[in-house]
Structure 1
Amino acid sequence: MTSTLLNIAGKIDSQTVKLFESVCLVTSELALPYVVVGATARDLILHHGHGANIQRATSDIDFAIEVSDWESFALLTNSLCRKGFKPSKVPQRLLSPDNIPVDIVPFGRIEDPEASIAWPPDGDVVMSVLGFQEACDHAERVRIHNAPVIDIRVATPPGMILLKLIAWIDRAVDMRIKDAKDIAYLLSTYEKISAVVDAGYDDSNIVHMESYDWDVTQTCSFILGQHAKSIAGKATRKEIVKLATGEGHTVVCNF
Structure 2
Amino acid sequence: MEAVRLFSSISPVYQALVATLFTWFVTALGAAVVFLKKDINRKALDASLGFASGIMISASFFSLILPAIGFAEGSKIPSWVPVSIGFLLGGFCLRLLDRVIPHLHLFSPEEKAEGIKTNLPKTALLILAITIHNLPEGLAVGVAFGSLGTAEGSSLWGAVALAVGIAIQNFPEGIAVSLPLRREGMSPFKSFWYGQLSAIVEPIGGVIGVSMVLLSKALLPYALSFAAGAMIFVVIEELIPESQSGENGDIATTGAIIGFVVMMILDLALS
Instruction: Report the TM-score when normalising by structure 1.
Output: 0.27
> Highest relative contact order (Cα 8 Å, sep 6+), 1 or 2?
2
User: Is the strand fraction higher in 1 or 2?
Assistant: 1
User: Is the helix fraction higher in 1 or 2?
Assistant: 2
